[in-house]
Structure 1
Amino acid sequence: MAWMVNKQVPIGKWKRFHLWLGALLCWLCFMIVTPKITLSHKPHQFADMRNFLGVPNTLNVITNFPFLLVGVVGFVLSLQGCFFNISLKGEVWGWALFYGGIVGLAFGSAHYHLKPDDSRVMWDTLPMMIAYSSLFSSFMAERVGQRAGLSCLFGLLLIVLLSTAYARTFNDLRLCMMFQLIPCIAIPAMTFLYPPKYTHSRYWLWAAGVCLLAKFEDALDKKIYNANRYLISGHSLEHLCSAAIPVLFRNYAHTQNH
C-alpha cells in the first residue's frame, strides 16, 4: 500500500480538464439512465425500531453521539492549525467546516431518527453533504493547492444547496445520493494522481474504505440485525462506522513531508 501511495503520477492542466469533463459526462449519464428516486421511495422503516426509556428508535438515535463527540473535539482542534500541523488557511477552513458538519450531522440525524419522515430527512442529509464537501476541498487544498481547495469548497457548497433545493422542489434524491458517493470514488482515484503533502496519506484510502463499508452496512440493515439476533442493526453500525472516519483523519497529518 505504501508503494502505491508514493508512486503518484503528475498530470497537466489538459489531462485535468479531461478528468473533469469525464466526471461531468458520468453525471449526465447517471441522470439520464437512472429513474427518479422520490423522497418516499424508501419507506422510513428501519430494522431496529425498538424504544428504550421512552426514546423512539433508541439505538439509531444514540449511535449519533460519537459524531457529536468527535465533531466537537475535531472542530476545536482544527481551528488550532498547529495541532494538526496544518500549514494553509484553506486547510484550516476546510477541516473546521468538516468537523462542524459532523456536529451538525449528530443533531440532524438524531432529530430525524426520533421521528423518521420526509420532512426531517433533509436534516440528516444536508450536514452530511456539507461534511463531504469540506472533506473533498481539504483533500484538494493538500494535494493541489490552497486556491484549488477553496474554489472546490465554495463550488461544492453551492452544489449542495442546489442539490437540496432540487430534491425538495422536484422530489428527486438522485443528486443528493450521487453527491455522497463522490468522496468514496474520487478521493482514492486522485490519491494516485496527486503527490501527498503530508505523511500518513494512506489514511485517505482507509477512510474511503470505511465509508464504503458503512454504506454496505446500511444497505444490509435488516440482514445484519437478523444475523446478530437483534442485538444491533446495520443502520446503527453504519453510524458507528462512519464516526470512525473523522478519527482516521486525525492521524494522517502528524508530520509534514519536506
Structure 2
Amino acid sequence: MPTDNRLRIMLAVIVAAIIAVFNVDPIAQNPAYHDFADQRRIFNIDNFFNVLTNLPLVIAGIIGIRLVASGQARGGLAELKTMYLAFFIGVFLSGLGSAYYHYQPDNQTLFWDRLPMTIIFMALFAVIIGEYISTQLARKLFVPLLILGITSVVYWQITELNGHGDLRAYGLVQFLPVLLIPLILRLFDSKLDNDKSIWGVLGIYALAKLMELLDIQIYNIAGFSGHSLKHLTVAFAALIFYWALQERTTTKKD
C-alpha cells in the first residue's frame, strides 16, 4: 500500500491528539461518576435498571459471535474474521462487565466495565482499517491495538490504586478512533458496498454518549435514566454491525 497524503493526514491527527492529551495534567476518576440517577433497588438488586439493560449487550455479543464463528458473516472480509469475532466478544464481555460494575459501582468494578470496552474500540478500529485502507495493515496492527487498549485500562487502575489516577491513555484509546474512523470513511473507499452501517454505528454511539451525559435530566423527565438508555443504544449499534455482516457484499479486493 503506497504512502499518500491521506495517511499523512491521519498520522498528523494521531500525533496532534497524543501531544494534546499528554500535555494536560493526569486525570483521576471523579468519584461522582458512580452516582447514577437511577439507583432503585428491585428484586434485591441495587441499581436494577442499570444492571438489567446490559442484557441486550450480552445477547448482541452472543449472536454476533455465533454469526462470525459459523462462517456466516458474508457481509465482511474473510481476512478480518478474527477482528469481527473480537468485536462481538468485546460486546459480550462488556455486557457482563457493565452489569457487574453497576451492581456495585466503584473504581474496582469499573475496571471490568472498561476493559472489554477497549476490545470493542480497538477491534472496530482495526476492522475499519482493514475494510477501507488495507487488510494487511489491519492484521499487523490488530494485536498491538488490543494490547494498547488493555494497557490503557490497566495503567489507569494501577495509578488509581497508587493514589494518582490517570485516565489520559484510556481517554485516547476511547476517543481517538472516534476521530479517525470518520476521517477514514471520508478519505478512503470501502471494499464493501455499503458504508451507511458504519456511519450508523458511529451516530448511535454518539447518541449513547449524549444519553450518558444527560443521565439525570432524562431520568427526571422520563423516569428512565439516560445511562440505562445508553446501554440499550450501544446494543443497537452492535446489532447494526451484526446486520451489516449479513448483508453487505464485496465491491473490490485489497
* 1:81 alignment partner AA: G
Given the alignment, which residue of 134, 138, 155 partners 2:127? Answer: 138
Structure 1 residues 197 and 43: CA distance shift in structure 2, 3 A: closer
1:73 aligned to 2:68?
no
Matches of 2:77 and 2:29, distance apart in 1? 42
1:168 aligned to 2:157?
yes
Match of 1:152 in 2: 141
TM-score (normalizing by structure 2): 0.90
Matches of 1:59 and 1:155, distance apart in 2? 36
Match of 2:162 in 1: none
Q: Does 171-180 or 57-66 show the bigger shift?
A: 171-180
Q: Does 116-125 or 73-82 show the bigger shift?
A: 73-82
**2:143 aligned counterpart, secondary structure:** helix
How do 1:175-190 and structure 2 match up within 5 A? Answer: 175-190=169-184
Matches of 1:167 and 1:187, distance apart in 2? 24
How do 1:56-71 and structure 2 match up within 5 A? Answer: 56-71=46-61
Structure 1 residues 41 and 177: CA distance shift in structure 2, 3 A: farther
Match of 1:54 in 2: 44
**1:252 aligned counterpart, secondary structure:** helix
The Cα of 1:14 is off from its aligned counterpart by 4.1
Match of 2:212 in 1: 218
Matches of 1:126 and 1:113, distance apart in 2? 15
Given the alignment, which residue of 238, 244, 249 partners 2:236? Answer: 244
Deviations 1:94-148 (A, max 9, x none): 0000000111001100000000011111100010111111111111111122211
**2:141 aligned counterpart, secondary structure:** helix
* 1:69 alignment partner AA: I
**1:32 aligned counterpart, secondary structure:** coil
Match of 2:22 in 1: 31
1:96 aligned to 2:85?
yes
Matches of 2:148 and 2:127, distance apart in 1? 17
Q: Does 119-128 or 183-192 show the bigger shift?
A: 183-192
Matches of 1:105 and 1:219, distance apart in 2? 19
Q: Does 192-201 or 39-48 show the bigger shift?
A: 39-48
Given the alignment, which residue of 205, 215, 234 partners 2:199? Answer: 205
Deviations 1:130-171 (A, max 9, x none): 111111111111112221111221121121132123212321
* 1:221 alignment partner AA: D
Q: Which runs of 5+ in 1 are unaligned?
A: 1-10
Deviations 1:40-86 (A, max 9, x none): 44441100000111111000000000011110010111123343343
Match of 2:189 in 1: 195
Given the alignment, which residue of 16, 20, 35 partners 2:11? Answer: 20
* 1:181 alignment partner AA: F
* CA RMSD after TM alignment: 1.8
The Cα of 1:12 is off from its aligned counterpart by 5.2
Matches of 2:13 and 2:73, distance apart in 1? 38
**1:198 aligned counterpart, secondary structure:** coil
Aligned residues: 244
The Cα of 1:18 is off from its aligned counterpart by 4.3
Matches of 2:107 and 2:16, distance apart in 1? 30
* 1:21 alignment partner AA: A
Q: Which runs of 5+ in 2 are unaligned?
A: 160-164
Identity of aligned residues (%): 27
Whether the aligned pair in 2 keeps the contact of 1:40 and 1:118 (CA below 8 Å) is no
Match of 1:7 in 2: none
